[in-house]
Amino acid sequence: MIIRGKCWKLGDNISTDHIISGKYKFEAINDINKMAVHVLEEVIPDFYKLVSRGDVIVGGRNFGKGSSREQAPRLLKLVGIGAVVAKSFAHIFYRNAVNIGLPVVVAKTIPDISETGDVIEINIASGVIRNVSRGVEERVSPYPREILEVLVNGGITEYIKRYGGLPWSRSIG
């Protein structure tokens, strides 16, 4: 699975409230699509109009801190983000992202050298991230096979619909 898109460079401590303000959490409770117009609106005005399918957010430390609202990664995926690369992630955001099928990758070099507009390419199976625009490649630990299967299938729910159970339960006894 290779993701390739334009970089959207963000800094440290991007919270779930930066991604989708808490003031919208009940506004569209029955239709998450109505919340898409508000994604990152306080960080990048009109982001939902500017982002393209497959684009990559590159953040700093502690990306996704704050609440445990699953809407944050779900909305990033909904507006077209193909993956998030950051120096570190809040644990709940990381898990929620994987659960809904949004690849999240911890990297040390790419966040420092990337700028908005660069082309980023990620091979999530091999753990290779490239900033194509700057000619920089970084190797990171690839996902375990079971997590990669969840991501490739679009998240845990889609995986269960397709296979009837979780990938790690198949290898247990």
In tens, the pLDDT along 68-78 reads 778 899 999 99
- Neighbouring CB atoms inside 10 A of 63's CB total 30
Which residues, 6 or more positions from 25, have their beta carbon under 8 angstroms from its beta carbon? 69, 71
- The pLDDT, as a whole number, for residue 173 is 43
Name the nearest CA neighbour of 55 among 118, 128, 135. 118
Rounded to an integer, what distance in angstroms lies between the CA atom of residue 146 and that of residue 126? 14
pLDDT digits (tens, 9 = 90+) for 110-140: 999 999 999 999 999 999 999 999 999 999 9
Please indicate whether residue 119 or residue 163 has the higher confidence score (pLDDT): 119
- Look at the block and give the residue holding tokens 């430390």: 61
State pTM to two decimals.
0.92
Q: How confident is the model at residue 28 (pLDDT cuts 50, 70, 90)?
A: low
Mean pLDDT, rounded, of the chain: 91
pLDDT digits (tens, 9 = 90+) for 14-27: 999 999 887 776 66
Per-residue pLDDT for 84 more than 90?
yes
Residue extent(s) of CATH 3.20.19.10 domains in the chain: 2-142
pLDDT digits (tens, 9 = 90+) for 49-65: 999 999 999 999 999 99
Report CA-CA distances (Å) from 55 to 26, 69, 88.
27, 22, 19
Q: How confident is the model at residue 170 (pLDDT cuts 50, 70, 90)?
A: low
CATH class assigned to 2-142: alpha beta
**b or e along 91-120 (b: 16 or more beta carbons within 10 Å of the residue's beta carbon)?**
ebbbbbbbbbbbbbbebeebbeebeeebbb
User: Cα torsion at 70, 71, 75, 77 (round to 10°)?
Assistant: 10
Question: Which H helix or E strand runs over 104?
Answer: strand 104-106
Q: How confident is the model at residue 147 (pLDDT cuts 50, 70, 90)?
A: very high
